[in-house]
Structure 1
Amino acid sequence: MKIKIADLKKQLKTYEQKELIELIVEMFKSNKDVQNYLSSKFLGDVVIDELFQQAQKKINNEFFPDRGHGKLWLAEAKKEITAFKKATNDEKRTVHLMLFYVEMGVEFTNAYGDIDEQFYSSMVKMFDQVAMECDRDEELYKVFSNRLENVLNKADGTGWWFHEPLEEIYYTIEWVHDEDDDEEEEDVGED
């Protein structure tokens, strides 16, 4: 059973400042997520960069560890993305990690052949989340457009009809159509 936010606020209002500080320090000592959140909140970009690098390394490690073969514990890789997002609230780097996850999946299937439906489904769902974020923010799309296109190109020819849903998702991004229209206008102008 969890305390409701209204009740939590009511309880916290009864605490003296010193008691609140002690409570926060206890939480900090006992919970890694709280440590990451408060560190990023108070120390800023230096900590966010470090958390980003750690998350990227852990995601990569699930696919291509320094030694041995990737374990493909996709839930662990996705957990790193979620933990980073909660700790930092950094949208751009979170989308970067999400796309990195898909890129590693595509690279893995190209290196080792067909995997299984669950693997491809996970990649497609994550790619869909990236596409939705890019569709909402043109600047974000511009940052990741080349990488999105590279995922499509590298996924072409893989198994389980992996490429087709990625391509469908890619073309749901409004800004892709705008680029296509611009290219068509340039081609017509050259004739």
Structure 2
Amino acid sequence: MSKAKLKKHLLSLTKEQVVDIMLELYGASKEANAWLEFYLEPNSDAELEKYKKAIRSQFYGRNDYPKDPSFRECNKLITAFKKLVPDPHAIADLMLYYVEQGCSLTAQFGDYEEPFYTALENNFNKAVKFIVQNGLLTEFAPRIKRMIESVECCGYGFPDTLWDMYYEYANE
């Protein structure tokens, strides 16, 4: 169904019928429930912390014991957070936090296989691109630089790739 068709149908309903539909939707889907709650009480900070905790749990288990992260799950969390339509600063913060968790893991516990670094590089690229597109680079640059410096000891040319990506966007 198209948005136009949905809009036409909703406009033909009474206010009470629309309210009933919204209540059914609220109860029928976790995603709709989360979106409606955020719409009614938009608290980016609280949601951001909730999503950061979920991402961190992909990298660290109990007592901060390292785990093999599910990059797929982390990407799903970023996508779900974006759907809430928080401010771009919060989205950039979460995207960067995701990469920081991977950098922290490798800096603390040693080198990982190449797919680990490739996934982090791809997500770093997305994060920096988003940050630049939203005019947030000046604010996030010190944090990005600290993160890259934290992995200078890692192999596979990982920090060099991150620096290259950063400078590519920083010089635009």
TM-score (norm 2): 0.89
Q: What is the letter of the counterpart of residue 61 of structure 1? A: S
Task: Give the match for residue 56 of structure 1.
Answer: 52
**Are 2:110 and 1:103 equivalent residues in the alignment?**
no
Query: d(CA) in 1 for partners of 2:74 and 2:93?
Result: 13
Does 2:160 match 1:164? yes
| In structure 2, distance between residues paired with 1:42 and 1:137 | 25
- Take 1:134 and 1:52, find their aligned partners in 2: how far apart are those partners? 16
Q: Which 4+ runs in 1 deviate beyond 3 A?
A: none
The 5 Å alignment of 1:1-191 reads 3-45=1-43, 48-67=44-63, 68-138=65-135, 140-174=136-170, 177=171
User: In the alignment, which residue of structure 2 is the partner of 1:188?
Assistant: none
**Residues of 1 paired with 2:134 and 2:11: CA distance?**
39
**Segment of structure 1 superposing worse, 49-58 or 3-12:** 3-12
CA distance in 2, matches of 1:109, 1:173: 24
Q: C-alpha separation between the residues in 1 aligned to 2:132 and 2:91?
A: 15
Which one scores higher on RCO, CA 8 angstroms, separation ≥ 6? 2
Q: Cα deviation per residue 1:49-106 (whole Å; 9 max; x = unaligned)?
A: 2211110001111112234542411111221121111113321111111111111101
Q: Is the 8 A contact 1:134 1:173 kept in 2?
A: no
Note the alpha carbon deviations across 1:142-162, whole angstroms, 9 max, x for none: 221111001221122312221
Q: Which runs of 5+ in 1 are unaligned?
A: 179-191
- Are 1:62 and 1:72, in contact at CA under 8 Å, matched by a contact in 2? yes
Q: Secondary structure at the match of 2:84?
A: helix
Amino acid at match of 2:11: K
- Between the aligned partners of 2:121 and 2:38, the Cα distance in structure 1 is 30
Aligned residue pairs: how many?
171
Partner SS state of residue 62, structure 2: coil
Q: Which has the larger radius of gyration?
A: 1
TM-score calculated relative to the size of structure 1: 0.81
Preserved contact between residue 59 and residue 80 of structure 1 (Cα < 8 Å)? yes
